[in-house]
Structure 1
Amino acid sequence: MHKGKNRFVAGFLIGPLGLYVVFMIWPYVQTFGYSFTNWRGQSSRMEFVGLQNYADLFSDSVFLRALWNNFLLLVSLPLATILLALFFAFMVNVGGRGGAAGIQGVRGSGFYKVVFFLPHVLSVVILAILWRAIYRGDIAGLINGTLVKAGISDPEHPIEWLNSPNLVLWCVAFVLLWWGVGFYLVLFSAAMQSIPKDIYEAALLDGASRVQTFFRVTLPLLWDTVQTAWVYLAILAMDGFALISVMTPGSNFGGGPDHSSEVMATYLMRNFLAFGKSGYACAMGVVILVLTLILSVVTLRISRREHIEY
């Protein structure tokens, strides 16, 4: 009976597992193999070059600049997104005054959730086009027009947001932040709603302030959710391809000006599709994969703590 059950389960699993191997695992294996060749993508002819592509990567100034930009996003984006999402989630769930119904969120909390989540409903390409118009370098842009109307900016010399090497990456980071906060607000709100309100009421009765309640009650009980969010945001910081390729200046997938907003994904696609250096691009893909896996494991290990039950 037990063996028959195992065969029955295996029969249902073999099909999905086969599809997963063919369409997910095999492309990774092919990419790893192509990274040791000088494959140009348009032809099946290629030569084995060993580790030459990897050696060229770490002497490539553009790739190193892209790696540094990914690192800057990795340091700033997850931290800022999680802090803001936690703050807003706390306010819409338990930030209001206590009443006969117990601890409640601020007035209109349901409306705020919808407003904050709305950017996440839009596609990344729509967001890029929208924010490219907002960041326009003349007074027709929303930001520059507002600054000029307020008398803060000179109408003859508006700020070139997306054409300034010192600003463009942070403009992109702000859009990613604006896009992601709403999703993680809803995620954290769902986790907070599973926490019994009696815990908050007991903490407040014991004289704890809202700040102490957040750090002593809310954050420890949400730690598993925060850990998961951190991993997903770190992976997002290692990508950013769609937004940067549409939003930033530069031919062939953006990344300008002067590679100031270049990330590894945009440089990979430029080498693969525009320069015909497909083997070199595959080596970049392997590096991105390895870095992402290492980052995920390290993040989970560092943030691991004892699970709190309630």
Structure 2
Amino acid sequence: MKHGQYRFIAGFLAAPLAVYAVFVLWPFVQSIYYSFTDWTGLSPEFSMVGVENYSRMLEDDVFWKSLQHSLLFVLLLPLVTIGLALFFAFMINVGGRSRKGAAVTGVRGSSFYKIVYFFPQVLSIAIVALLFQFAYNPNSGALNSALKAVGLDGVQPNWLGDPGLALWCVMAVLVWSTVGFFVVLFSAGMTSIPKDFYEAALLDGASRVTTFFRVTLPLLWDTVQSGWIYMGILALGAESFAVVQIMTVGPGGPDYSTTVLPLYVYMKAFRDGQAAYATTIGVALLVVTLAFAAVVMRLGRRERLEY
């Protein structure tokens, strides 16, 4: 009976696993293979060069700059985004004053706030990047116009043209565009927590801060951990590439101050015709992504709480 059951399950899994292997695993294998060649991406002819591309990568100053920026993204963006999302979600669902006999409630207008926070998710990341590119314009942008309107005419930063500011401007856009998704995600998790837990904590004299760290965060930890990994992958992948590609000069400038690994892979593959070297950088990006996920899973491991 069990043998027939295993064959039945294997029959259902065969097709999805085959599709996953062909469209996900096989491209990874191909990329690793091409990283040991001199393939240009424009010709079917190439030859094996061993670890030459990896040696070149280790001596590439732009690669190290890109790696530094990507690591900064993956360390700071999840921290800021998840932190803000947890705060907003807690205020929306639990942080309001008691009214109408309810001991635990969200702030007034919480449904409206959910819509406001989630609104950037409705927009394409390309549209978001274009909007903020206009806002950051040093001559006619909304930010410098607002500073001028309040009498700060002497404070007119060249937001995307200053190597010291450009990367932080890009990070601010990524936080603004993604925090709403996690607000809704954490709000859904918080609504599933029984209200009795919060009411018992409040009756024991616990403050809102204590309630958050002692009740909400432990019961929401699995969702937070998944969100942390997802945000890290966004910071290392398409989201960071799109924003940097559209908003910055060069792109990736000024002076490679905003270049990230996904953008550098694109530049080498499609601008410089060095597909093999681009796949080498892509392999490094894969290693960084896997290492980030493994570290988060390892540090975030704790006993599962059920309720």
Same fold (TM over 0.5): yes
Taking structure 2 as the reference length, the TM-score comes to 0.96
Distance, in Å, in 2 between the alignment partners of 1:16 and 1:224 is 26
Q: How does 1:226-237 map to 2 (within 5 A)?
A: 226-237=224-235
Distance, in Å, in 1 between the alignment partners of 2:278 and 2:62 is 13
2:256 aligned counterpart, secondary structure: coil
The aligned counterpart of 2:289 is 292
Distance, in Å, in 2 between the alignment partners of 1:244 and 1:113 is 28
1:187 aligned onto 2:185:
yes
Q: How far is the alpha carbon of 1:196 from its aligned partner? A: 0.8
Structure 1 stretches of at least 4 aligned residues deviating more than 4 Å after TM superposition: none
Q: How far is the alpha carbon of 1:68 from its aligned partner? A: 0.6
Q: How far is the alpha carbon of 1:304 from its aligned partner? A: 0.8
Q: How far is the alpha carbon of 1:223 from its aligned partner? A: 1.0
1:184 aligned counterpart, secondary structure: helix
Q: How does 1:115-130 map to 2 (within 5 A)?
A: 115-130=116-131
Two-structure CA RMSD over aligned residues (Å): 1.3
1:249 aligned counterpart, secondary structure: coil
The match for 1:306 among 281, 286, 303 is 303
Q: How far is the alpha carbon of 1:34 from its aligned partner? A: 0.2
Distance, in Å, in 2 between the alignment partners of 1:153 and 1:280 is 47
Structure 1 window deviating more from structure 2 (160-169 vs 18-27): it is: 18-27
The aligned counterpart of 2:50 is 50
The aligned counterpart of 1:210 is 208
Q: Which string of whole-angstrom CA distances, capped at 9 and with x for unpartnered residues, describes residues 147-203 of structure 1?
A: 01111133xx73210111000100010011001111111111111111111111111
Q: How far is the alpha carbon of 1:7 from its aligned partner? A: 3.2
Q: 2:175 is aligned with what amino acid? A: L
1:97 aligned onto 2:109:
no
Structure 2 unaligned segments of length 5 or more: list them.
Answer: none
Aligned pair count? 304
Q: How does 1:254-265 map to 2 (within 5 A)?
A: 254-265=251-262
Q: How far is the alpha carbon of 1:16 from its aligned partner? A: 2.2
Structure 1 unaligned segments of length 5 or more: list them.
Answer: none
The aligned counterpart of 2:144 is 144
Q: 2:267 is aligned with what amino acid? A: R
The aligned counterpart of 2:277 is 280
Distance, in Å, in 1 between the alignment partners of 2:153 and 2:302 is 49
The aligned counterpart of 1:69 is 69
Q: 1:50 is aligned with what amino acid? A: G
2:78 aligned counterpart, secondary structure: helix
Q: Which string of whole-angstrom CA distances, capped at 9 and with x for unpartnered residues, describes residues 4-40 of structure 1?
A: 4433333333222222211111111111100000100
Taking structure 1 as the reference length, the TM-score comes to 0.95
Q: How far is the alpha carbon of 1:2 from its aligned partner? A: 4.1
Q: Which string of whole-angstrom CA distances, capped at 9 and with x for unpartnered residues, describes residues 78-131 of structure 1?
A: 111111111110000011112313311000000000100000111110111111
Distance, in Å, in 2 between the alignment partners of 1:148 and 1:23 is 52
Q: 1:191 is aligned with what amino acid? A: G
1:103 aligned counterpart, secondary structure: coil
